Copies of this chain bind each other. A is one copy, B any other.
């Protein structure tokens, strides 16, 4: 009798069913803004086993709208795996047969870690807009405490894409002795004015939605669904390349004819897709978290406290680096990655750089792209062997 291995829950390459855990911290965390946060909770998942030497731990840092659920399924009924399941699992680039993978929801998030939707112990109401502003370094410090809790002195690798890549770089500077490898994918040392402008539009869309109620929508039993949906639509366009959108939608109409226009106000396929994406997102993500996360992105500036000199900044790092960019990513373009690489080389840090030809724009970092996957896997083979 043979068993069919299906490509679903528990199949080859999947970490299978996973359960989130929660770590509670009573000791106050002093934030970059000067305020203290206590107590707070971090929700996280782990995949694979920590070895006896505690030397095989890998930290995944998530991007703007990410969370702790990076791989596997939460139940048999789950239709979709975690957001980076293409890259985390047995035999995958972040091989759970070799690594103990830790993936958490960042502080300020809306998927279980303490954030704007949590109760402010000072008022008994949701934090909402009063949640303290966060910087990438705050996440790094809170992640270090989680590492302490898990008995991890040093990460074999800290890995992140986009905003996650910024955290990975910050790790290498804040805790040089605790990071062996730093993997920075589709990221930048700081945002461009254009990037900030797109984030500003997203925030403005949310804040000008009357249902935002100055950020106190939970107290008013409302949700700024239109504003958050719009914010997501703006983000979504900028994560895709023009070519990828052309390939996906072209100029296809949903209904009607090009001569006369559609029957209703949604005419092109791309419009219908964007509205769907926007409305899905606004039902599953917190608006104050979105504002907080985009502000952390805008304010991130790797070299600021190093005299605005990235070379001086990276001289503090002790790890090896893998930097990856994607040819059609115009939100975090290859130019930004090359700036990182140039600074690392000038600082004498070992760095591997790959610019991957990919049609998918910024979203490529989540996609199954053979050359990217092979290169990522080959690099990760080295991690833990050196």
Contact = CB atoms under 8 A, between A and B. Distances in A.
A215 to B, nearest CB: 10
A242 B193 contact: yes
B205 A274 contact: no
A40 interface: no
A234 B196 contact: no
A260 B135 CA distance: 9
B249 A193 contact: yes
Contacts of A258: 299, 301, 304
A180 to B, nearest CB: 29
A258 B268 CA distance: 41
A263 interface: no
Interface residues of A, number: 54
A193 B265 contact: no
Interface in A179-215: 190-194, 196-198, 200-201, 203-205, 207-210
B301 A271 contact: no
A250 interface: yes
Contacts of A270: 193, 196-197, 200
A331 to B, nearest CB: 10
Nearest to A204: B230
B208 A226 contact: yes
Contacts of A242: 192-194
A32 interface: yes
Interface string A226-254: 10011001100100101001101111000
A192 B251 CA distance: 7
A372 B344 CA distance: 40
A53 interface: no
A196 B251 contact: yes
A193 to B, nearest CB: 4
A192 B230 contact: no
Interface string A281-301: 000000000000001001101
A157 B268 CA distance: 34
A230 B251 contact: no
